[in-house]
Amino acid sequence: MARYTCSFTVAISFEYLQSSLIELLQSCNFDIIYDTGDYIMAREFPGRVSFAKLVTVEVLIDKSTATSQEVRMNFVIKNEELPLQVDNHCHQMFNMVQEAVAENRYWQLVETIAG
């Protein structure tokens, strides 16, 4: 199973984060399948790759450290594919999500920690 993690701290009001994050994931071809307010799960739309390569994104919004202007989010991006190649499909999607978070117009990226 391929699995990539990273944390982002972004400068945005907590009340606007949820809708901005959902829009970001949808722009990366993910369908939101679960949303509790502080946890979002999204899955890649089927059709482009085999079922085992479909990527799932889990986002945990850290409410305990959120301030009125900054929020930390932890991302887990994974699929059932064995990561036999460095540049596998899951890693490509991980890079796409990282880039989308870094370049999002609704917030300013404060910190990135890749795991």
CATH 3.30.310.220 fits 2-114, yes or no: yes
Helical (H) or strand (E) element with 101 = helix 89-102
In this predicted structure, the answer to whether residue 9 has a pLDDT above a threshold of 90 is: yes
- CB proximity list for 67: less than 8 A, separation 6 or greater: none
pTM for the predicted model, two decimal places? 0.91
In this predicted structure, the answer to whether residue 37 has a pLDDT above a threshold of 90 is: no
pLDDT for position 39: 96
pLDDT tens figures, 58-75: 999 998 888 888 999 999
Q: For the chain, which residues make up each domain, given as ranges? A: 2-114
Angle at 12 between CA 105 and CA 45, to 5 degrees: 55
